[in-house]
Structure 1
Amino acid sequence: MIDNKGLLIVISGPSAVGKGTICKELFKRNIENLELSISATTRNPRPNEINGVNYHFIDKESFGKMVEHGEFLEYAQVYDNYYGTPKKYVIDKINQGKDVILEIDIQGAKQVRQNYKDGIFIFIMPPSFKELKSRIMKRGTEAQKDIDKRMKCAYEEIEQAKYYNYIVINDDLHNAVEKIYCIIKAEKCRLSRYHIDLSEFKEEL
């Protein structure tokens, strides 16, 4: 008998490594039962954003109470607002048999690892530091000092890759997406997901 619970797949890596693009391409495959986690935030909705679709929009008081009660898999403050992954939302989806993708930064992934031991943690690695720097520079939105700071942070973040289950090098988008798809399929076949009952086989002997 197979365990029909879904998986929590955490996709993380340094800034500009291509996490978001990989996730978008993964969902284009229309993989059965695969869903993207929806974060909670205290910021106001932007035009065309829908509560429960883009984010769970809540006030700061409610967010603070959720933090006190341990209701987030992870959370962080970004400028004047808070963002977090509601634990109940994710666990409910997993119990319904959904595989939940959580695209998140290194610090957030660390919190999730502490709060949900059964997660599948995939680290997206750049093909080289030179290529990562090139991707950051192509954005054209940051000064040289900010680029240097990002590169230093990237080095420190990549040191955390040893705490993940898998490493996927994003040297080619199609190949990176295919590897993550294969990881999900392989995780479905783990022995721990099966409860083997030999009684019926004994009756045949």
Structure 2
Amino acid sequence: MADISLNDRPGDPHGFKRRGLLFVLSSPSGAGKSTIARKLLAADPTLVMSVSATTRPMRPGEVDGRDYHFVDLPAFRQMVADHEFLEWAHVFGHRYGTPRAPVEAMLKSGRDVLFDIDWQGAQQLHQIAGGDVVRVFILPPSIEELERRLRGRATDSETVIEGRMSRAAGEIAHWDGYDYVLCNDDADICFQKVRTILEAERMKRSRQTGLIGFIRKLGKATGEVD
């Protein structure tokens, strides 16, 4: 995994470099993570979305390669056998996975990568990339509000909605596997909090791989080296 997590990235005008960041958003379906993800991408050109592969059918309005990489089950199984995924999981009767190669390419191009994945994927990604993964879990303000949002979409059948509500409790139970946990009772405020987390994580000393060289230059200029 060193190829992904240890790539030095372009930094600021002072010559800093920093390690690539894998930024994970998870939540029960309907809690708002996809909306927050879209706002992050619109606000930050250095952040790019990881596009998952899935065996589920394409929905109206979706585009292959933009929303998901749509593949059949045999192709997905072959990708698993060939170790082409960073992580993969069963979700709502279908399989979802993060292709490794595009993530590597995005990090090498100098951009951080945003993941919209569930707790299983977040756990696997953390096991692979460790400290280069930042995990944020979004909670709904209440179960009643979660159901109201799901029904408000008007895109899912009653069976699907019941399945999502049933799964929500299991997803929420894994809140303690995340670095940050936020309640989305106001979409704009929650977005700002997530954006603040992203910026703060980017500035962590451990990610500033060019910081030591810059400090040494300052030390030489003042006669204080190291």
TM-score range with shorter-chain normalisation?
A: 0.7 to 0.9
Stretch deviating more after TM superposition (82-91 or 156-165): 82-91
Structure 1 residue 199 and structure 2 residue 212: aligned?
no
Task: Report the residue type matching 1:16 in the other structure.
Answer: G
Q: Distance in 1 between matches of 2:58 and 2:146?
A: 32
Stretch deviating more after TM superposition (83-92 or 34-43): 34-43
Change (3 A) 1:124 1:176: same
SS of residue in 2 equivalent to 1:28: helix
Query: What is the CA distance between 1:59 and its match in structure 2?
Result: 5.4
Contact 1:6–1:96 under 8 Å retained in 2: no
Aligned partner of 1:131 in structure 2 is 145
Q: Distance in 2 between matches of 1:146 and 1:52?
A: 26
1:165-184 to 2 correspondence within 5 Å? Answer: 165-184=179-198
Aligned partner of 2:80 in structure 1 is 67
Query: What is the CA distance between 1:146 and its match in structure 2?
Result: 5.8
User: Which deviations, in whole Å up to 9, do the C-alpha atoms of 1:74-107 show, x marking residues without a partner?
Assistant: 2235688643111221122122221111112222
- Say which of 91, 116, 120 aligns to 1:103: 116
- Structure 1 regions of 5+ residues with no counterpart? none
Aligned partner of 1:153 in structure 2 is 167
Q: Distance in 1 between matches of 2:64 and 2:159?
A: 38
User: Which deviations, in whole Å up to 9, do the C-alpha atoms of 1:109-144 show, x marking residues without a partner?
Assistant: 222222332211010011123322332344465549
Query: What is the CA distance between 1:161 and its match in structure 2?
Result: 0.9
SS of residue in 2 equivalent to 1:116: helix
- Structure 2 regions of 5+ residues with no counterpart? 1-14
Structure 1 residue 7 and structure 2 residue 21: aligned?
yes
Q: Distance in 2 between matches of 1:57 and 1:133?
A: 28
Contact 2:147–2:165 under 8 Å retained in 1: yes
TM-score in terms of structure 2 length: 0.74
Task: Report the residue type matching 2:103 in the other structure.
Answer: V
Alignment RMSD (CA, Å): 3.0
Contact 2:150–2:161 under 8 Å retained in 1: no
Q: Distance in 2 between matches of 1:155 and 1:42?
A: 24
Stretch deviating more after TM superposition (50-59 or 127-136): 50-59
Q: Distance in 2 between matches of 1:191 and 1:109?
A: 23
Aligned partner of 1:87 in structure 2 is 100
TM-score in terms of structure 1 length: 0.81
Q: Distance in 2 between matches of 1:151 and 1:78?
A: 13
Task: Report the residue type matching 1:33 in the other structure.
Answer: T
Stretch deviating more after TM superposition (35-44 or 120-129): 35-44
